[in-house]
Amino acid sequence: MLCVHCLALLDRYFGKHLRNRHDAEDAAQHVLLKVLEVLPEYRPTAPFQTWLFTIARNHLIDRTRVQDRAEATDPEALRAMQETEVAIEAPALATQARMIRTLIAPLPKEQQRVLLLKYAHDLSPAQIATILGRTETSVRQLHKRARDALHEIIQAQSRG
């Protein structure tokens, strides 16, 4: 039962951060295996979900580093990846996810992560701080800056 719940959380997390559904499922499975591998080391000093998302975030960072290196050396790979990107989600959800990604794309990555963890995963600032390795105050500040920036983006779009 725990594995099913964890996999569902991870699928949702990676589904928000990775554009390709297949990559999101692969990442979720990889992290679930990692969690099961290090589960005996878990100490309940923080909520289990926070620990789980910390492992997921670290995997996402590692994955991004590898992709950045590959994209820097192989522009064809980037072009092919963009051309083959497919959304398997229901059309309305896929459209909504694309709109959200487009809306938050101009924001710095850390602000994007704070928004996704807060609203898509319903985590508290304390939990987000633990996952991102920041203080709760800095998470609250990132959240405020992200909201302010989104407000300006939306206002600019409605004017133009």
Domain segments of the chain: what residues? 1-88, 90-160
Cα–Cα dist 52/35, whole Å: 7
Token digits of residue 157: 């779009």
The answer, yes or no, to whether residue 139 has pLDDT greater than 90, is yes
Determine which helix (DSSP H) or strand (DSSP E) holds 45, and give its type and residue range: none
> Residue 80: what pLDDT?
46
What's the whole-model pTM score?
0.51
The model's pLDDT over 55-111, given as tens digits with 9 standing for 90+, comes to: 888 888 887 776 655 544 455 554 444 443 433 334 555 566 677 778 888 899 889
The model's pLDDT over 43-68, given as tens digits with 9 standing for 90+, comes to: 888 788 888 888 888 888 887 776 65
What is the domain class of 90-160 according to CATH? mainly alpha
Instruction: Tell whether domain 1-88 is in CATH 1.20.1510.
Output: no
Reference 133, options 142, 121, 122; nearest CA is 142
Determine which helix (DSSP H) or strand (DSSP E) holds 114, and give its type and residue range: helix 109-115
